[in-house]
Amino acid sequence: MQKLFSAIDSLAEEYKDFLVKICSIESKSEDKAGVDAVCDAVCEKARSLGFEVKRRKIENAGDVASVTYANGGKLAPACISAHMDTVFEKGEFGYSPVREESGRLIGPGVIDCKGGIAVGLLALEALKRTGYSDRPVKLILQSDEEVESVHSGGKTLDFMLEEAAGACAFFNCECRERGKLTTGRKGIIRLYLEIRGRAAHAGDYFEGRSAIREAAYKIIELEEKSVKDGITYNCGVIEGGTALNVVPDICRVYIDVRISNTAEFDTAMNVLEEVAAHSRVEGTSCRVVRISDRKPMERTPANVRLFGHINSVAQKYGMGKMEEFYSNGGSDAAYTTLAGIPTVDDIGPVGDNYHTKNEWCDIASIAESAKLIAASVCELGKEM
């Protein structure tokens, strides 16, 4: 194990530079060319290290890929995963987009989730350098994770599940809080309410039927149904009206719904349909339009067992005690969990402020996370 950790330490600076390189390639989910350029960079580096690379072309989203350290091992493979897309428009961080300050990198995707790519590839290279051969180890790269795989029509998820089939463990390298690992996450439903009324000149106010007024009633009713540890309804964007002197005949309310388990999906949808079905403003109507959804990552015995293994390894090798964590944010780890693959999330580098222009990554944690993953892979028992 000391050889493994020494290999990671010797490679740490190189992988910091690699992370700067791929974060400097701006790659919002909708920007196929940008995401593909990140994929190019990772695949090129992986091939230079002698790893097997499989890349699948995706028509309406960035390509996906897997990088495999095929070492002749006969046991079930272990998988590491991260995504190449980010939420940022080009230029939001300025140029160059990545900067280093006081032991941190600040830039688009440094922890969500290109930092996870650096961690995963670093772990693979260190395992190869030290001759690990018990089981194949695979890094799976996703391309439209930030948008619930809507651009690919779920094809990126299909690729991930195909590549992870039969795995004994799945390490999803989203960002983490030091000392915490995630075994469960909420699911997400994204949709909008479309409210229709009747337009009229503001001078003839009572001849019109205001869609915005009806939307206001529905927003209050929905958000009051949110429960802190249960289903939440966040009405985050409102679009409506045409001019100040016109009673608005249409309004759309975009809603982010968070659910804890699959049963809550039906509950939430029933609530939305009920709210849509009745009106406070006479003469208005409403329909529910789903945009996308992501299943919840439920806390399963398999996930808890894998967490226990990682926690034991962390303490054995002086990396501290790990705390089991539940996240209100969604991720693709939900789908490997649903497939029955033992999964732990948020095992990437330490950082915070993701989805903001202050997103940062603790540089030292790149090596720390690679050590935690690589050591956990090395000590996976034959029963896993």
**Chain segment 157-202, per-residue pLDDT in tens:** 999 999 999 999 999 999 989 999 999 999 999 999 999 999 999 9
Average pLDDT rounded to a whole number, residues 94-120: 97
What's the domain range around 203? 187-294
- Of the three residues 246, 267, 294, the one that is the final residue of a domain is 294
Indicate the average pLDDT of the chain: 96
* 200 and 264, same domain (yes or no): yes
* 216 and 121, same domain (yes or no): no
Instruction: Please check the confidence at residue 383 and state whether its pLDDT lies above 80.
Output: no
Question: Would 234 be classed as within a structural domain?
Answer: yes
* 77 and 146, same domain (yes or no): yes
Instruction: Please check the confidence at residue 236 and state whether its pLDDT lies above 90.
Output: yes
Contact 266, 124 (CB under 8 A): no
pTM (two decimals): 0.92
Instruction: Please check the confidence at residue 382 and state whether its pLDDT lies above 70.
Output: no
Instruction: Please check the confidence at residue 246 and state whether its pLDDT lies above 80.
Output: yes
Instruction: Please check the confidence at residue 260 and state whether its pLDDT lies above 90.
Output: yes
* 179 and 246, same domain (yes or no): no
* 304 and 268, same domain (yes or no): no
Pairing between β-strand 187-196 and β-strand 169-172 as defined by DSSP bridges? unpaired
CA angle at residue 136 from 327 to 7, to 5 degrees? 80
Neighbours of 272 (CB within 10 A): 22
**Chain segment 319-343, per-residue pLDDT in tens:** 999 999 999 888 999 999 999 999 9
* 102 and 154, same domain (yes or no): yes
Amino acid 48: pLDDT: 98
Amino acid 358: pLDDT: 96
Instruction: Please check the confidence at residue 113 and state whether its pLDDT lies above 90.
Output: yes
Instruction: Please check the confidence at residue 114 and state whether its pLDDT lies above 70.
Output: yes
Average pLDDT rounded to a whole number, residues 339-367: 97
* 87 and 214, same domain (yes or no): no
Alpha carbon separation from 365 to 118, 142, 200, 327 (Å, rounded): 11, 22, 60, 20
* 178 and 300, same domain (yes or no): yes
In this predicted structure, which of 103-107, 122-126, 148-152 has the lowest mean pLDDT? 148-152
* 44 and 156, same domain (yes or no): yes
Amino acid 329: pLDDT: 87
Alpha carbon separation from 193 to 20, 223, 240, 264, 330 (Å, rounded): 41, 13, 11, 19, 22
Instruction: Please check the confidence at residue 384 and state whether its pLDDT lies above 70.
Output: no
**Chain segment 8-57, per-residue pLDDT in tens:** 999 999 999 999 999 999 999 999 999 999 999 999 999 999 999 999 99
Alpha carbon separation from 50 to 46, 70, 233 (Å, rounded): 7, 10, 48
* 67 and 205, same domain (yes or no): no
Number of compact structural domains in the chain: 2
